[in-house]
Every structure is written in C-alpha cells, then in structure tokens.
Amino acid sequence: MSPTRRRDSTRSRQLLLEAAAGLFAERGFDRSTTREIGERAGVDPALIARYFGGKAQLYIAVLDLDRASARPADLLEPERNLMLVNGVAQRGPGPVFRAAVTPLEDPAVQAAAASQLHWRLVDPLRERFTREGLDRPQLRAEIAVAAFVGIVLSRHGGAFTALAEAGTDEVVQLVLDLLDQGR
C-alpha cells in the first residue's frame, strides 16, 4: 500500500503564483494556458480554479504581489513608459489594460483589474500632478492614462499604419511629449 500524499494547499498556491508569474512575464496573459501553468508548478491545473477562481483571477493575484513593493514610477518617466509599451508589444495587453477600455466578464476581476490600473498607472501620475500643484490632478491622471492605453492598444490594432510602423523609441518620445503637454 502506497502512502497517501498530504496536500499542502499553501505550497500549491505559491507554486501556481510563481509559475503563473513566470509564464505571464514570458508570454503574456493570452498566450499562457492554465495547463502550462499547472505543469510548470507541478500541480493539477484544476487547482487554479479552486484557489483563485480562474486564470484571470490568478493573473490579478500575480499582479497583487507587486503591491508589497514600492509604487511604480509614473508614465512621465521614460523608462517606465518604454517598459509598458514594450510589454504590450511582446506579450499583448493583459486584463489590467483591457479593464481600461472594455469591462471584463467577471465583476470581481474587473474591480481588481481597475484597482491595479489605478495603483500602477493613475495614482503615480496623480501624485506627481498633486506635487506639482496642478488643478484636478485625478482627472488629469485618468485622461493621461486613458490616452496612453489607447495609443498602446491602437498600435497593434491595424487601423493606424504610421503608428504601427513607428519605432518604439519614437512612439515613446511622442507619447511623453503628448502627456507632458497635458500638464
């Protein structure tokens, strides 16, 4: 008779978070499957639904890990802007970017994605605009983020050929110029 293996839900959850973080960073949300995440974690992929509710909720849980660290730089920082533009180009838009333009099916996931959007993009800009003494810093930050997300997503939508053909550095510089004018 073989010994029964004791389940360690905390360890399995942690393994899934680590595996998902790696795959989402490498391939993006859409190109990562729950099967691959489970395989990389060495656990049954069905545990994703059990512990997180689904792949989108797992993605949000991975993003929530960042909240333990310092707030990200704002969009007016060239390195931050470049990192985000490159990330969407390489991995596609994840639920956080999508939440800015299209409501996600699950209201809880939508709320979590919107919260992440504010924490990662809107709040750092609002804080900068407040420090600079600009009027309506929240509105200015939301407009700037909406413009940024629209530009980044439109770059790969096929409707704007010059935008699609432009080099990343050129797009980032023009986006920075545009955002700076809104201050």
**Mean pLDDT per 10-residue run, the chain (183 residues)?**
62 94 83 94 95 90 77 93 90 82 80 89 96 96 95 91 94 93 76
pLDDT of 17 reads 94
pLDDT of 2 reads 46
Q: Determine whether 109 is exposed, middle or buried from the number of CB atoms within 10 Å of its CB (0-12, 13-18, 19+).
A: buried
Distance CA 48, CA 92 (A): 22
pLDDT of 118 reads 94
pLDDT of 6 reads 54
Give the model confidence (pLDDT) of 91-118 as tens digits: 888 778 888 888 877 787 788 888 989 9
Tally the domains of the chain: 2
Give the model confidence (pLDDT) of 145-158 as tens digits: 999 999 999 998 88
CB 164 within 8 A of CB 155: yes
pLDDT of 55 reads 92
136-140 own/partner pairs: CB under 8 Å, 24+ apart: 140/182, 140/183
Separation of CA 140 from chain center: 21
pLDDT of 60 reads 84
In order, the DSSP letters of 5-50 are PPP-HHHHHHHHHHHHHHHHHHH-STT--HHHHHHHHTS-THHHHH
Q: Indicate if 59 and 75 belong to the same structural domain.
A: no
Distance CA 4, CA 48 (A): 22
Domain assignment of residue 40, given as a range: 9-65
pLDDT of 4 reads 46
Q: Which of these three, 50, 65, 80, is where a domain ends?
A: 65
pLDDT of 111 reads 85
pLDDT of 5 reads 52
Closest CA to 123 of 61, 49, 70: 70
Q: Indicate if 50 and 139 belong to the same structural domain.
A: no
Q: Indicate if 61 and 86 belong to the same structural domain.
A: no
